[in-house]
Amino acid sequence: MIKIKVIGRKIEKELEYQKGMKVKDVLKAVGFNTESGIAKVNGKVALEDDSIKDNDYVEVIPVVSGG
């Protein structure tokens, strides 16, 4: 299982690990894409194509923009 927490949105969930999962798959599972959220895997900033392993902890940080 992968534990996911979305910072500032009170979303915490577990996602079943699937072989070949990437950061972008985890973002999508909680309603984000690579432009609307930044992921930290086990405390380190991760890129969208970085692999996810079973038992990883992923924090999603929503991106705020405007002008």
Q: Judge whether residue 2 has pLDDT over 80.
A: yes
Closest by CA to 46, choosing from 67, 18, 26, is 26
Q: Is 25 helix (H, G, I), strand (E, B) or coil?
A: helix
pLDDT digits (tens, 9 = 90+) for 10-49: 889 999 999 999 999 999 999 998 889 999 999 999 999 9
Q: Which runs of consecutive H residues, i.e. helices, occur in 1-67?
A: 23-29
Give this prediction's pTM.
Answer: 0.89
Contact assessment for residue 58 and residue 51, using Cβ atoms and an 8 Å cutoff: no
Nearest to 49 by CA among 39, 36, 59: 39
